[in-house]
Amino acid sequence: MADLALENDVDERSAELETRPADGAMDRSIPSLDGRCDVLPDQPLPALSTASAQAFAAVDRRDPSQKLYALIPDPQLPFRLNAIRHARDLGDVAVVKPSQWGSIDWPQSGRRETLLVFQRPSGEPLMPSIDDQIRPLKVPDITQNLMKPMAALLSVLADQRLAHRNIRPTNLFRAGIGEPVIAGEFYSAPPGFNQPSLFEPIERAMCPPAGRGAGEVTDDLFALGVTALFLALGRNPVANLDDKTLLTLRAEMGSYAAYTAQGKPPGDLAPVIRSLMHDDAQDRWTVEDLIRWADVGVANQAKPMTMVRSDRGFEFAEGHHHTRRQLALAFSRNWNAARPVVLTDAVERWAERSLKDRDLAQQLIECRHSTESGPRMISDDLLLARTITTLDPDGPLQFRGMNAMPDGLGALAALAAADTDIAATFTEMISSQLVEFWIEKQTVAGLLASTGKGDAAKILTYLGKPGPGFGIERCVYELNKGMACQSPRFTNVNAVNIRELMAALDAGAKKGESQLDRHVAAFLGARYSGSIDAELGEYAGAQSGEDALLAQLRIFASVQLKHGPSELPNLASVVLGHLDILLSPYRNVALRKRLRRVAEQVAPTGKLPELLGVISNRKTLNADKKGFDRARRHYRALGRQINSQRDSRERTGERALVVGRAAAAYVSGGVGATVVMMVLLAGIT
Amino acid sequence: MAKKKNKPVAKRARRSRGGLPLLMLGFSAVAIGLLVVAAPALILLFVGMAPTAVAIFIDREPEKHAAISVAILNFAGLSPYLADFILGAATFSQAIALVSNVFVLVVIYGAAAAGWVLVLLLPPVSAIVLGVVTDGRIETLRKEQKQLIEDWGEGVAGR
């Protein structure tokens, strides 16, 4: 239902756009969104740009005094449509909210781009860059101006089932010292995509940006803890460490210990930061804990990290690994080397003898066995993936170098759709039911598990159908609501909703070209409110060009009926070009001519459902079929009669003899009777 | 089954009867009548109807159309002389004189020959007529087929 509402919302926007003057109609030299907001390409704003979106100054035509900026997100990434939709419900909280959004013809790229317009946050970011040094913030300042507004923001976001996933010093702004902090935008890229990994909880930091997942407010709390640490120290305490080394340290000693090894926060802030940076999300502070601390100054500290360390480290990849997570990370990073190791019982023995964890050893043994929910055959790769998941059940899904959180499968699918190697690994990971195994290993059934389970089920369904409208492309659009259609034919169009894509399809419709490529079909299938899977299946399974054309028309007609636009004259014209093929199921020549005439009358109106009604009418088709069957039987009967007449013609001589002699008898009879009568009459008279 | 078996037998019986038995019956009736009212006329009848006897013998068709044709015209040729015998007072000597008259025989046998002419002439004429009729029917049927192809396309012909 949420998706349907979302799509309707987008369609409304699109319908609204259609009724407005064309972009730039007022001043063609300056790109304009809906004729209301001008965007200035010659005034980039690097401070507000992100890794995946460029920022430019923007001016509201009705109120030029407003300080606006516009972001143009990377068209290959899904932006957070759901978050944009919910932004208006967030109320008066400390976060930048989009004032307008839509598509715009962008001169710099020469294509249509998605544009998000925001109120420009007052002031500068708290840190110009992550590695810059600033004057450390005082604890009361952090409490009052950072923690309080952020706690309120996260509370509201949690109510909307959203997470910011972009909280860091470079995306927090304030007008001046003593002023409350406002969080920057989080709409232009997938959750966590632009977040440096050091602001991510360890399990999400193990993933590439695309696989970090939607996340929850608890992830924002971790980022807030790291941010508070940075601001309290006035610098990045781990600036000298690269991401890989930092991750290794975090896995070995815990995030808080790793971050504070080279700089301790002030004493009264340390427990707060430690509670926020707890590596176990279950033990991490909640928003309520943070609010209580910010308001009253008192809250229960999070339990200290308990990390079971083995006496004897597991020797692997030139290192000694003492914790489960450390070993899991090492296996994941050295996949090929780890594969033969898990085939032996070395890890089980280490778990039992060094970690003294018999239960873990038993679980590792069970990894080798297929369960009811798993695949029949456990490949070496899957065994390693299962072993890693068993060692680190809080960690991401890890399969042959591909790491992703279960709620990050959507963004990962988007990457996979563009790269065949990633697609193969992604498909194998999903089809081997690793997500289900990961869920089995969770001690708490949270939102993450349910999201992952739902997404994996969807992916498995669509990957199982290879035809257009399904497959990996369908997964991309099903799991990324803000993803523009990635069809190579429409790269310049940036169609985010079904209506825009249909308009683009109509504009680019050419005779002789299939209008439905895999991306277009998948996009329509995913964005259609309802289901057109039957029509897509018909298209995928079409045995002939005629069937494919008809199925294509059915899809477009269904989409137009439900989503518009009301007129698609070019597509209708293309259909007209194929009328001979489309009307070929009709056998009656006169009927075909009549249907052609009607279709030619309907096509200029651009109403595909009506055109479909003319071309493919089941009742007419049945009547035509019956008529044809009757005509064929009649034709055969006539053939038999002709043959019979031919036979008769060949036997004319025989028949003529019989008939001629009979005729002779009759003629004789007539003549004879006449003569006898005349004789008798003459004799009597 | 029994009915089916009986049908062809009945058909054959009906076909084999033809018009000859009726003719023979009529002939016999005429002969008996003549025996009663004008016995000398029987000589004329037997001599005059000789071509018919030959025709009956020659005609191997079950319907005996040729024989019928010859018989009727043969009798028509004979009828004026026979009428004179029946209506007048005929004697055996008159009957013998009449059958000895070549002219009379030419008339009677000529009439029989006319019957043969009809038997020989009408089959070729019938052949021509039947051929024309059959060709006409075939043409009509073909036109109907062509119309079906025009209405429904080549597919209707199974092509």
Cβ neighbours of A631 in B, within 8 Å: 148, 151-152, 156
According to the model, what pLDDT value does residue A28 have? 52
pLDDT tens per residue across span A371-429? 766 677 889 999 999 999 999 999 999 999 999 999 988 888 888 888 888 889 999 99
Residues of A with CB under 8 A from a CB of B: 587-590, 627-628, 631-632, 634-636, 638-639, 641-642, 645-646, 648-649, 652-653, 655-665, 667-669, 671-673, 675-676, 679-680, 682-683
Question: Which candidate from A627, A656, A671 shows the least CB-CB separation from B126?
Answer: A656
* Ranges A26-35, A438-447, A603-612: which has the least confidence: A26-35
* Contact residues on chain A for B44, CB-CB shorter than 8 A: none
d(CA B95, CA A448): 137
Q: Is B123 on the interface with A (CB under 8 A)?
A: yes
Apex CA A89: angle with CA A85 and CA A94, to 5°? Answer: 105
Range of lowest pLDDT (A16-30, A208-222, A453-467, B33-47) = A16-30
Q: What is the spatial distance between Cα A412 and Cα A394, in angstroms, rounded to a whole number?
A: 19
Share of chain A above pLDDT 70, in %: 94
Structure tokens at B72: 């009727």
Q: Could you tell me which of A560, A561, A566, A572 has the C-alpha nearest to residue A604? A: A572
Please state which of the ranges A21-35, A598-612, A657-671 shows the lowest mean pLDDT.
A21-35
The span from the CA of A150 to the CA of A164, in Å, is 10
Residue B32, CA distances (Å) to A207, A615, A672, B21 in order: 132, 88, 21, 16
Using CA atoms, how far apart are residues B4 and B11, in angstroms rounded to an integer?
Answer: 11
B123 → closest Cβ in A660, A667, A669: A660
Task: Give me the amino acid identity at B82.
Answer: L
CB atoms B144 and A638 under 8 Å: yes
Report the alpha-carbon distance of residue B8 to residue B42 in Å, rounded: 41
**B52 at interface of A, judged by CB pairs closer than 8 A:** no
How many CA atoms, within 13 angstroms, populate the side-chain half-sphere of residue A178?
0
pLDDT tens per residue, range B71-104: 999 999 999 888 888 777 678 888 888 889 999 9
Residue A304 tokens read as 């200290």
Contact A58, A70 (CB under 8 A): yes
Of A638, A639, A664, the CB nearest to B65: A664
Q: Looking at the complex, does the CB of residue B81 fall below 8 Å from at least one CB of chain A? A: no
The identity of residue A165, as a single letter, is: R
Taking 50 as the threshold, does the pLDDT of residue A21 lie above it?
A: no
- Residues A578 and A574: their CA atoms lie apart, in Å, by 7
* Collapsed DSSP state (helix, strand, coil) of residue A314: strand
Query: Is it the case that residue A288 has pLDDT exceeding 90?
Result: yes
Q: Residue A5 has what pLDDT?
A: 37
Provide the strand spans (E) within A168-291: 172-174, 182-183
Phi, psi angles (nearest 5°) of residue A443? -80, -30
Q: Is the pLDDT of residue A522 over 90?
A: yes
pLDDT band at A491 (very low <50, low <70, confident <90, very high): confident
The 10s digit of each residue's pLDDT in A156-209 is 999 999 999 999 999 999 988 889 999 999 999 999 999 999 999 999 999 999
Residues of chain A with Cβ-Cβ distance to B84 below 8 Å are: 683
Q: Give the DSSP H or E segment for A56.
A: strand A53-60
Asked if B156 and A639 come within 8 Å (Cβ–Cβ), the reply is no
- Is residue B10's pLDDT more than 60? no
What's the alpha-carbon Rg for chain B, to the nearest Å? 25
Q: With an 8 Å Cβ cutoff, is B141 touching chain A?
A: yes
The chain A residue lying nearest B151, using CA atoms, is: A589
Inter-chain CB proximity A667 and B83 less than 8 Å: no
Enter the tokens of residue A187: 């709409």
Residue of B nearest to A584 (CA): B153
Give the C-alpha separation, A632 to A629, whole Å.
5
pLDDT for A570 beyond 60: yes
Residues of A in contact with B152 (CB under 8 A): 587-589, 627-628, 631-632
Average pLDDT of the segment spanning A11-23: 42
In B, which residues are within 8 Å of A662 by CB distance? 63, 65
- In angstroms, rounded to a whole number, what is the distance separating the alpha carbons of residues A103 and A106? 9
A628-632 contacts, C-beta under 8 A, 24 or more apart: A628/A587, A628/A588, A628/B152, A628/B155, A628/B156, A631/A587, A631/B148, A631/B151, A631/B152, A631/B156, A632/B152, A632/B155, A632/B156, A632/B158
**A513 band by pLDDT with thresholds 50, 70 and 90:** low
Average of per-residue pLDDT across A91-103: 91
Pairwise CB contact (< 8 Å): A587 & B152: yes
Binning chain B into helix, strand and coil, the percentages to the nearest 5 are 85, 0, 15
Q: Do A38 and A59 touch, CB atoms closer than 8 A? A: yes
Smallest CA–CA distance from B143 into chain A, residue: A638
- Give the total residue count for chain B: 159
CA atoms within 13 A on the CB side of A567: 6
Q: Which residue of A has its CA nearest to B127?
A: A656
The answer on pLDDT for A684 being more than 80 is: no
For B76, name the nearest residue in chain A, comparing CA atoms only. Answer: A672
Q: Chain A closest CA to B24's CA: distance in Å?
A: 14
- Model confidence pLDDT, tens digit, residues A241-284: 999 999 999 998 899 999 999 889 998 899 999 999 999 998 99
**The pLDDT of residue A483 is above 60:** yes
In Å, how far is B148's CA from the nearest CA of chain A? 7
Give me the residue label for tokens 């001046």: A176
Nearest CA in chain A to B158: A632
Nearest to A477 by CA among A522, A530, A515: A522
Residue A321: Cβ within 10 Å count: 24
Mean pLDDT of A24-45: 78
Q: Which residues of A touch B79 (CB under 8 A)?
A: 675-676, 679-680
What pLDDT, on a 0 to 100 scale, did the predictor assign at position A670? 94
pLDDT given at position A385: 96
List the single residue in A662, A668, A683 with the smallest CB-CB distance to B72.
A668
| Minimum-distance CB partner of A642 among B126, B141, B157 | B141
Instruction: Give the CA distances from residue A205 to residues A150, A161, A220, A240, A512, in Å, rounded to whole numbers and listed in that order.
Output: 22, 22, 13, 17, 49
Cβ neighbours of B155 in A, within 8 Å: 587, 628, 632
Residues ≥6 apart with Cβ < 8 Å to A471: A462, A463, A465, A518, A522
Note the pLDDT tens digit of each residue in A448-459. 777 777 888 888
Q: Which residues of B touch A627 (CB under 8 A)?
A: 152
Q: Please judge whether B63 and A662 are an interchain contact, meaning their C-beta atoms are less than 8 angstroms apart.
A: yes
Helix (H) or strand (E) holding B12: helix B2-17
Length of chain A: 685
Contact present, A307 and A174 (Cβ < 8 Å): no
Q: Which H or E run includes A114?
A: strand A111-119
B115 contacts A664? CB cut-off 8 A: yes
Predicted local distance difference test score (pLDDT) of residue A444: 75
Q: Nearest residue on chain B to A638, judged by CA atoms?
A: B141
A160/B102 Cα distance (integer angstroms): 137
Confidence band for A445, pLDDT divided at 50, 70 and 90: low
Domain ranges of chain B: 19-157
Instruction: List, edge to edge, every strand of the sheet that includes A32-33.
Output: A32-33, A37-44, A53-60, A68-73, A111-119, A98-106
Round the average pLDDT of chain A to a whole number and report it: 89
- The reply to whether B140 touches chain A by the CB within 8 Å rule is no
Query: Closest residue of A to B71, CA-based?
Result: A668
Q: What residue type is assigned to position A282 of the chain?
A: Q
A588–B66 C-beta distance less than 8 A: no
CB A51 within 8 A of CB A74: no
Q: Is residue A10 pLDDT above 70, yes or no? A: no
Helices (H), A280-419: 287-296, 324-333, 335-343, 346-353, 358-366, 380-391, 409-418
Query: Is the confidence at residue A15, as pLDDT, over 90?
Result: no
DSSP A354: T
What is the mean predicted confidence (pLDDT) over A545-571? Answer: 92
- Closest CA–CA distance from residue B89 to any residue of chain A (Å): 13
Q: What is the mean pLDDT of residues A213-225?
A: 95
Supply A196's token pair: 């440096």
Residue A243 confidence (pLDDT): 94
Question: Which region holds residue A379: left if phi is over 0, alpha if psi is between -120 and 50, else beta?
Answer: beta
Q: Is B148 on the interface with A (CB under 8 A)?
A: yes
- Chain A residues near residue B122 by CB distance under 8 angstroms: 660-661, 663-664, 667
Contact B8/A at CB under 8 A: no
Least Cα separation, residue A546 to chain B (angstroms): 17
A588 and B152 within 8 Å at the Cβ level: the answer is yes
Q: Is A580 exposed, middle or buried (0-12, 13-18, 19+ CB in 10 A)?
A: exposed
Of B65, B134, B145, the CB nearest to A648: B134
Q: A604-658, pLDDT tens digit by residue?
A: 999 999 999 999 989 999 999 999 999 999 999 999 999 999 998 888 888 898 8
Residue among B145, B150, B152 minimizing CB distance to A638? B145
CA dihedral over A354, A358, A360, A364, signed as positive or negative: positive
Is residue A94 within 8 Å of A182, Cβ to Cβ? yes
pLDDT reading at A220 higher than 80: yes
pLDDT at A138: 94
Check: CB of residue A168 under 8 Å from CB of residue A195.
Answer: yes
Contact A117, A99 (CB under 8 A): yes
Report how far residue A126's alpha carbon sits from residue A14's, in angstroms, rounded to the nearest whole number: 37
- Please tell me if residue B150 touches chain A, with a CB cutoff of 8 Å: yes
Average pLDDT, integer, range A44-69: 91
Residues in A touching B61 (Cβ below 8 Å): 658, 661
CA distance B135 to chain A (A): 8
CA dihedral A461, A466, A472, A478 (to 10 degrees): -50
Strand partners, A399: A402
B20 Cβ under 8 Å from any chain A Cβ? no
Q: A–B: how many Cβ contacts below 8 A?
A: 146
pLDDT of residue B19: 66
Say what percent of chain A tops pLDDT 90.
61
Nearest to A555 by CA among A519, A609, A607: A609
Question: Which tens digits make up the pLDDT trace of B104-146?
Answer: 999 999 999 999 999 999 999 999 999 999 999 999 999 999 9
Residue A77's pLDDT band, with cuts at 50, 70 and 90, is confident
Helices A589-602, A608-615: axis angle to 10 degrees equals 180
A146: left (phi over 0), alpha (psi -120 to 50) or beta: alpha
Instruction: Nearest chain A residue to B122 by CA: give it.
Output: A660
**A167, A168, A200, B41 from A192: Cα distances, Å:** 9, 11, 8, 138
